């Protein structure tokens, strides 16, 4: 039986085989980890569904395949060594026969006639393409011809056909996405791709699937969602005070501390409950208002941005949120988040306060209606009761998809959120 590339997340289109845990010839048991798959967001262990012997690895480590494409073969008990020849599209004898004794003149002539417009490509065919690592490129004859005619370097194309073979669909996909900066790029697309001149002083890093996904989704978001931004500075004194008091008690009780971001997450969740119009998505031809509040929290990792999700955040206690957020952030950095932990958010919070950023604007995580960009808690001079005093402030910026929510609605959401942030006790009880 074929081992197929599993579908591990909603946005996954293809996966990369990060490592095979079994070698060809190994016996594997159901439930044992067979292979590690790198998706656009995570590194996932994929277990064998059945007992059997791994007979073939079709996609080697580093290779990628579309969802559902075979990546290896498992011989399960009762399955013959090879599929039986004969009926129903049996696998044909593999070894090519010895050279024919004589050419079939008649056949050659007939088909030569059929092939009247000989495919004399405009450019001289390049040498057989090879991968950067020296391995031979597998590509269908159609792909080889099209590559010859268009000058595409097949060595840089990922094949999604059986055994990693490059098929026509891969070229179509390539043409549809901005061309990577490669020496022999495809003919320029009208899309945004800008040819980057590469000199020998430059280092070229091919797009990984995660970077590719981030690039595609965020570019889509900026291109299709008309963003507007609402910025508000809040008095963060009570929040800082609340955190200090709580943490003193938590530490005494030997419980984990909470962060400012945990308070913000909780306040956002509660405000979203009051403003369902913000807890919405822009669909094909409808606005989808979500009944449940799942808050995504943007986490920077060495491999790129990921957004784990706090489910039903509006119904969870502050300490519960703090614990879950800490766990998710840790998993994100280790690339151990499951697809379920990364999908289904209805609104996202991005916090760069820990880097000392005072304020910024964030790109909406599609198809959500908004994202909140949170700056640092800072001390600055302010006017209190007619006198200048040191005050604690925090600036938050709401990015809103104008297709879903209008300015006044966004401002009202932000006003209610500010009220909670300035009176954090209201948010946590």
Partner 1 sequence: MSAPTTVSPATAGTTTMSYRQALHDTLRAELLRDENVLLMGEEIGRFEGSYKITAGLLDEFGPKRVKDTPIAEEGFTGAAVGAAMLGLRPIVEVMTINFSLLALDQIINHAAKIYGMFGGQAKVPLVIRTPGGGGQQLAATHSQNVELFYAFTPGLKVVAPSNPADAKGLLLAAIRDDDPVLFLENLALYNTKGEVPNDDTPVEIGRAAISRPGTDITLIGYSRTARMALDAADRLAAKGFDAEVVDLRSLRPLDRRTVVESVRKTSCAVVVEDDWLTYGIGAEVAASISDGAFDWLDAPVRRVAMAEVPLPYAKSLETAALPAVDDIVVAAEQTLRATGRG
Q: Counting contacts by CB under 8 A, is residue 390 touching partner 1?
A: no
In Å, what is the CA distance from 428 to each residue of 50, 238, 336? 48, 13, 30
Nearer to partner 1, 81 or 385 (CB): 81
Binding to partner 1 by CB under 8 A, coded x per residue (else -) over 334-353, reads --------------------
Q: Where are the beta strands (DSSP E) in 341-415?
A: 347-351, 370-374, 378-384, 387-401
| 347 bridge partner residues | 295
Q: Counting contacts by CB under 8 A, is residue 196 touching partner 1?
A: no
Q: CB-side exposure of 420: number of CA atoms within 13 Å?
A: 22
Tell me how many residues contact partner 1 (CB under 8 A): 33
Q: Which residues of 384-414 are buried (b: 16+ CB within 10 A; e: fewer)?
A: eeeeeeeebbbbbbbbbbeebbeeeebebbb
Q: Which of 60, 62, 151, 162 binds partner 1 (CB under 8 A)?
A: 162
Q: Which of 10, 24, 31, 68 binds partner 1 (CB under 8 A)?
A: 68
Residue with tokens 């899309």: 191
Residue with tokens 């931004």: 229
Q: What is the largest CA-CA distance in the chain?
A: 105
Q: Which of 73, 144, 217, 292 binds partner 1 (CB under 8 A)?
A: 144
Q: Which of 155, 161, 178, 424 binds partner 1 (CB under 8 A)?
A: 161
Question: Catalytic annotation on 402?
Answer: yes
Q: Which of 12, 15, 48, 66 binds partner 1 (CB under 8 A)?
A: 66
Residue with tokens 């208002």: 289
* Range in contact with partner 1 (rule: CB under 8 A) among 162-170, 215-223, 306-314, 405-413: 162-170
Residue with tokens 């003149």: 105
**From CA 100, how far away is CA 237, in angstroms rounded?**
88
Q: Counting contacts by CB under 8 A, is residue 88 touching partner 1?
A: yes
* Range in contact with partner 1 (rule: CB under 8 A) among 85-93, 228-236, 258-266, 362-370: 85-93
Contacts of 362 (CB under 8 A, 6+ apart): 298, 348, 350, 371, 372, 373, 397, 399
Q: Counting contacts by CB under 8 A, is residue 107 touching partner 1?
A: yes
* Range in contact with partner 1 (rule: CB under 8 A) among 23-31, 160-168, 179-187, 205-213: 160-168
Q: Counting contacts by CB under 8 A, is residue 168 touching partner 1?
A: yes
Q: Counting contacts by CB under 8 A, is residue 170 touching partner 1?
A: yes
State the residues that interact with partner 1 by CB under 8 A. 66, 68-69, 85-90, 92-93, 107-108, 110-111, 113-115, 119, 140-145, 160-162, 165, 167-170
Catalytic residues: 402
């Amino acid at each position: 039986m074929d081992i197929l590339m599993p579908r591990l997340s909603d946005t996954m289109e293809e996966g990369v085989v990060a490592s095979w845990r079994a070698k060809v010839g190994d016996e594997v048991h159901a439930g044992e980890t067979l292979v590690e798959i790198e998706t656009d967001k995570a590194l996932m262990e994929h277990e064998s569904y059945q007992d059997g012997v791994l007979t073939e690895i079709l996609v080697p480590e580093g290779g990628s395949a579309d969802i559902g494409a075979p990546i290896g073969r498992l011989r399960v008990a009762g399955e013959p060594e090879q599929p039986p020849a004969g009926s129903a599209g049996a696998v044909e004898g593999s070894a090519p026969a010895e050279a024919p004794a004589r050419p079939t003149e008649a056949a050659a002539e007939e088909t030569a006639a059929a092939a009247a417009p000989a495919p004399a490509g405009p450019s001289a065919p390049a040498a057989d393409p090879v991968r950067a690592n020296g391995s031979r490129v597998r590509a269908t004859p159609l792909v080889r011809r099209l590559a010859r005619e268009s000058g595409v370097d097949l060595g840089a194309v990922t094949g999604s056909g059986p055994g990693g073979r490059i098929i026509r669909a891969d070229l179509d996909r390539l043409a549809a996405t901005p061309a990577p900066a490669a020496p022999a790029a495809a003919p320029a697309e009208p899309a945004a791709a800008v040819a980057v001149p590469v000199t020998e002083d430059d280092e070229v890093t091919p797009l990984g699937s995660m970077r590719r996904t981030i690039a595609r989704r965020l570019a889509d978001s900026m291109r299709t969602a008309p963003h507007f931004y609402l910025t508000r500075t809040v008095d963060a004194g009570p929040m800082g005070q609340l955190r200090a008091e709580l943490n003193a008690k938590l530490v005494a009780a030997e419980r984990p501390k909470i962060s400012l971001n945990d308070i913000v997450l909780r306040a956002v969740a509660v405000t979203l409950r009051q403003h369902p119009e913000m807890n919405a998505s822009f669909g094909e031809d409808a606005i989808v208002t979500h009944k449940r509040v799942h808050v995504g929290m943007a986490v920077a990792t060495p491999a790129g941005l990921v957004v784990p999700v706090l489910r039903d955040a509006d119904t969870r206690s502050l300490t519960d949120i703090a614990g879950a957020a800490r766990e998710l952030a840790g998993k994100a950095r280790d690339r151990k988040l499951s697809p379920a932990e990364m999908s289904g958010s209805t609104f996202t919070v991005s916090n760069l306060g820990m880097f000392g950023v005072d304020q910024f604007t964030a790109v909406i995580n599609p198809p959500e209606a908004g994202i909140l960009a949170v700056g640092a808690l800072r001390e600055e001079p302010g006017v209190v009761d007619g006198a200048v005093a040191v005050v604690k402030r925090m600036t938050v910026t709401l990015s809103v998809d104008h297709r879903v929510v209008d300015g006044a609605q966004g401002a009202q959401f932000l006003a209610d959120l500010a009220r909670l942030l300035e009176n954090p006790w209201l948010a946590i009880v």
